[in-house]
Amino acid sequence: MTVKDLAKDEFFYGHKACAGCGGSLAVRNALKVIGKNAFAVLPAGCMSAVGFNFPQLCFANNAIISTFAGTASMLTGIEAGLRAKGITDFTAVGFAGDGGTADIGIQALSGAIDRGDNILYICYDNEAYMNTGIQKSGLTPFGAKTTTTLAGKNIHGNIRPKKNMFEIAAAHNIAYAATATIGYMEDFLTKVKKASGLKGTKYIHVIAPCPTGWGISVSDTVEIAREIVDCGLWYLAEYENGEFILNHNPKQFTDVAEYLKKQGRFRHLNNDDVDLIIRSRDEKWDKIRNNWKFGKD
Amino acid sequence: MAKKFLSGDEAFAEGVRLARPQVISAYPITPQTIVVERLSEMVENGSLKSEFIHVESEHSALSCAIGASAVGARAFTATSSQGLLYMAECLLYASGGRFPIVMMNANRSTALPWNIYGDQRDSISQLDSDWIQAYAENAQEGLDFALMSYYIAEHREVSTPFMVNLDGFVLTHTYETVDIPTQELADEYLPPYETDNRLDIENPKNLAFSAGPEHNYIFKYKEHRALLRAKKIIAEAEKHFAEIFGRKYTGLLETYQTEDAEYILITLGSIAGLCREIADFLRAKGKKIGVVRLRYLRPFPTEELVSAVKNAKAVGVLEKDISFGNEGTVFTNVNSALFQAGIGIPSYNFIGGLGGKNISHKDIEKIFDLIEKGAEHINFIEI
């Protein structure tokens, strides 16, 4: 899957997402790959807030807002309903944010994976509740400043690491799971294409920076989404047939401090905080490199 | 038609089978569980062709049903008590989206204290969620509601979800002889669900959207109008039902000996039978009394109620519900209907059956006596 293969059709346009929005880029391009037979479910969150304002409805394909907790369960109903009506050529795809996935929606998602429902669930992760104005979610990384994890003298932002949704999904023995970032768009879209051709439950976790919440320039969204992989704080991987596969194994990481320094949400971190982040990165990579298979880079 | 000896839950499951739902989302909760067990058996033995989804919660049960209904599939789920409250957000979602899902609710008390027995505080707490709410008196009516509910909910002029309530244990677990219609007649009564309010590959739509202040109130007004229009469709559904199955129902409410009654007890659900029995007993002693059974709480039978009680000297409302700090909600609804019609007779509220407490012959006799002699505004009959 290369950019040249990408359809010219637009399925998500005329919406009011902020300039530089990573989430809207993920949704727009994923729908180009899935095509007009996508039945998209979006829970409460940024993408439903910007895309579904009657009478200005922004999806050219079938699309519906679910309850905040109900992305996966609504996908299940859509998939079962269409199948019961004898319709087979479609993709039931969810686009939920990090809070909608790792916090309030995790029960319904777990249920759907457990049942093996034939749905594609894409989590666009901007690492906080951005729609409500930057509050900590279960996917907010250690050290990040949000409006509910303040950076003060006593506490330096979020004190907990990011929940590991990719491996939580994999632990259900899911048909397919993958991590991605909009910074490596071709990798993301290749995974979307692959997942939409597979039966069973598919989960893709794509990093989608939010300039407002991350404290970056609106023109730096894609670059920072690339750098998070380059510095080793995120990784590109897949889980399939019971195995973890690392897709991209950087020979040398770029500077974590540089990555953090560019973002307003991390600017308060001191050297000890940064060292802690580097140590935890290295521990994770030791586990990955010792236990996962290496795919084609 | 075949006669079978069935519990209320089993009878209801038979009705659901005859309605041919395409998607069933099931999560167990006492005293509803037998419904989903029987439906599971029917799917297994092939007597029901339906996608049976083992959801992991009641929230997902209704969310899944909404998804199915949003692509134009006929959907069914069932719940009770805590489960109904856990899915409460989805109730409003289903009605706001105009998805005509049918759900059975086994009326059960709500925690705390924990209690699995029947009162009606669960469903009555959800009266404002824009669902049609019907209350069955026996297993046969439950089965018949299962068929009629789809007819009414899916009607183009209504397009509103439908909650059928059966008193926990008293109806759900009590065995009665029930007539089960043939599938052939059921199909004649209930055609497959057709709607434009669905996601469709040929004609893509965006559904369940946001609407700001400028448009929101119009959608809400339309919901209200549709629920009022349901009154007409309920009458149509019952007429059609009688033509095909030969069983007649009486619309939004059922009256008993109200024509010349001076004192009338208004109630709902399974307790109505006992109330009628006591009415007979007291009438034999010369008391002019009658009973009104509300079959529907939404839409509320305003005109029918006024017409039934307008010549009475006093009325009482017996309900298994209390809106804490005020009065029983059914009582509030009844009083509003009487007040708007300019009927200024005394009315008394009798709260009973909470947490499944038995309401006895003696309790009902005492209630009729109090209606005649005058009572407190609110009377907890067991205290």
User: What pLDDT score was predicted for residue B382?
Assistant: 78
Domain that holds residue A10: 3-294
Helix ranges (H only) for chain A are: 22-34, 46-51, 71-84, 98, 106-115, 165-170, 185-196, 211-214, 221-230, 256-261, 271-291
Paired tokens of B235: 């009458």
* Closest chain A CA to residue B205: A62
**Cβ contact, residue pair B25, A52, below 8 Å:** no
Query: Do B269 and B239 sit in the same domain of this protein?
Result: no
How far is the alpha carbon of A45 from chain B, nearest alpha carbon, in Å?
Answer: 12
Query: Do B235 and B276 sit in the same domain of this protein?
Result: no
Kindly give the pairing relationship between strand A52-53 and strand A56-57: antiparallel
Query: Do B31 and B105 sit in the same domain of this protein?
Result: yes
Place of tokens 């395409």: B22
d(CA B372, CA A235): 78
User: What pLDDT score was predicted for residue B383?
Assistant: 78
Residues of B with CB under 8 A from a CB of A: 22-23, 25, 50-51, 53-57, 59-61, 63-73, 75, 89-90, 93, 199-201, 204-212, 215
Query: Do B304 and B330 sit in the same domain of this protein?
Result: yes
Helix ranges (H only) for A18-116 are: 22-34, 46-51, 71-84, 98, 106-115
A108 CB-near residues (< 8 Å, 6+ apart): A69, A70, A71, A72, A73, B56, B57, B59, B60, B63
* The total number of structural domains that make up chain B: 2
d(CA A171, CA A164): 11
Which residue of A41, A65, A85 is in closest CB contact with B209?
A65
User: What pLDDT score was predicted for residue B155?
Assistant: 98
> A293 to each of A171, A239, A246, A252, A296, how far by Cα in Å?
17, 10, 6, 19, 10
Query: Do B67 and B131 sit in the same domain of this protein?
Result: yes
Residue A113 with chain B: CB contacts under 8 Å: none
**Cβ contact, residue pair A73, B22, below 8 Å:** no
Query: Do B115 and B257 sit in the same domain of this protein?
Result: no
CA proximity to B288, closest of B368, B379, B366, B373: B368
Residue A76 with chain B: CB contacts under 8 Å: 25, 53, 55, 60, 64, 67
**Cβ contact, residue pair A64, B63, below 8 Å:** no
Q: In the predicted model, is pLDDT for residue B193 greater than 70?
A: yes
Which residue of A48, A66, A81 is in closest CB contact with B68?
A81
Write out pLDDT tens, residues B263-310.
999 999 999 999 999 999 999 999 999 999 999 999 999 999 999 999
Query: Do B183 and B40 sit in the same domain of this protein?
Result: yes
**Cβ contact, residue pair B204, A108, below 8 Å:** no
Q: In the predicted model, is pLDDT for residue B12 greater than 80?
A: yes
The ipTM, to two decimals, is 0.97
For chain B, give the mean pLDDT: 97
The CATH number of residue B149's host domain is 3.40.50.970
**Cβ contact, residue pair B206, A63, below 8 Å:** yes
The CATH number of residue B370's host domain is 3.40.50.920
Paired tokens of A82: 């269409």
**Cβ contact, residue pair B51, A48, below 8 Å:** no
| Cβ contact A294:A246 at 8 Å | yes
**pLDDT above 90 covers what percent of chain B?**
99
Which residue of A51, A61, A110 is in closest CB contact with B204?
A61
Q: Give the number of beta-carbon pairs within 8 Å between A and B.
A: 160
pLDDT confidence band for B366 (50 / 70 / 90): very high
**Cβ contact, residue pair A67, B89, below 8 Å:** yes
**Cβ contact, residue pair A77, B59, below 8 Å:** no
Q: In the predicted model, is pLDDT for residue B236 greater than 70?
A: yes
Q: How far is CA A58 from the centre of its chain?
A: 21
* Closest chain A CA to residue B55: A111
* Closest chain B CA to residue A71: B63
Which residue of B51, B59, B200 is in closest CB contact with A80?
B51
Q: In the predicted model, is pLDDT for residue B100 greater than 90?
A: yes
Answer with the one of B215, B245, B275 that is the final residue of a domain.
B245
**Cβ contact, residue pair A74, B210, below 8 Å:** no
* Closest chain A CA to residue B27: A111
**Cβ contact, residue pair A111, B56, below 8 Å:** yes
Domain that holds residue B374: 253-380
**Cβ contact, residue pair B59, A39, below 8 Å:** no
Residue A91 with chain B: CB contacts under 8 Å: none
Which residue of B22, B60, B209 is in closest CB contact with A70?
B60
User: What pLDDT score was predicted for residue A297?
Assistant: 64
Query: Do B16 and B74 sit in the same domain of this protein?
Result: yes
Residue A111 with chain B: CB contacts under 8 Å: 55-57, 60
* Closest chain A CA to residue B199: A62
Residue A87 with chain B: CB contacts under 8 Å: 71, 201
**Cβ contact, residue pair A108, B60, below 8 Å:** yes
Which residue of B51, B59, B60 is in closest CB contact with A84?
B51
d(CA A264, CA A273): 15
Query: Do B107 and B160 sit in the same domain of this protein?
Result: yes
Query: Do B233 and B139 sit in the same domain of this protein?
Result: yes
The CATH number of residue A126's host domain is 3.40.50.970
Answer with the one of B225, B245, B265 that is the final residue of a domain.
B245
**Cβ contact, residue pair A77, B68, below 8 Å:** yes
User: What pLDDT score was predicted for residue A161?
Assistant: 96
Query: Do B339 and B257 sit in the same domain of this protein?
Result: yes
Burial class (CB in 10 A: 0-12, 13-18, 19+), B333: buried
Provide the residue-wise pLDDT of chain A in tens; the chain has 297 residues.
Answer: 888 889 999 999 999 999 999 999 999 999 999 999 999 999 999 999 999 999 999 999 999 999 999 999 999 999 999 999 999 999 999 999 999 999 999 999 999 999 999 999 999 999 999 999 999 999 999 999 999 999 998 999 999 999 999 999 999 999 999 999 999 999 999 999 999 999 999 999 999 999 999 999 999 999 999 999 999 999 999 999 999 999 999 999 999 999 999 999 999 999 999 999 999 999 999 999 999 999 876
Query: Do B67 and B202 sit in the same domain of this protein?
Result: yes
Answer with the one of B217, B245, B273 that is the final residue of a domain.
B245
Paired tokens of A179: 């991590």
* The total number of structural domains that make up chain A: 1
CA proximity to B28, closest of B57, B59, B63: B57
Helix ranges (H only) for B20-80 are: 33-45, 58-70
How far is the alpha carbon of B169 from chain A, nearest alpha carbon, in Å?
Answer: 30
Burial class (CB in 10 A: 0-12, 13-18, 19+), A37: middle
* Closest chain A CA to residue B64: A77
**Cβ contact, residue pair A74, B23, below 8 Å:** no
How far is the alpha carbon of B54 from chain A, nearest alpha carbon, in Å?
Answer: 8
**Cβ contact, residue pair A54, B209, below 8 Å:** yes
User: What pLDDT score was predicted for residue A295?
Assistant: 87
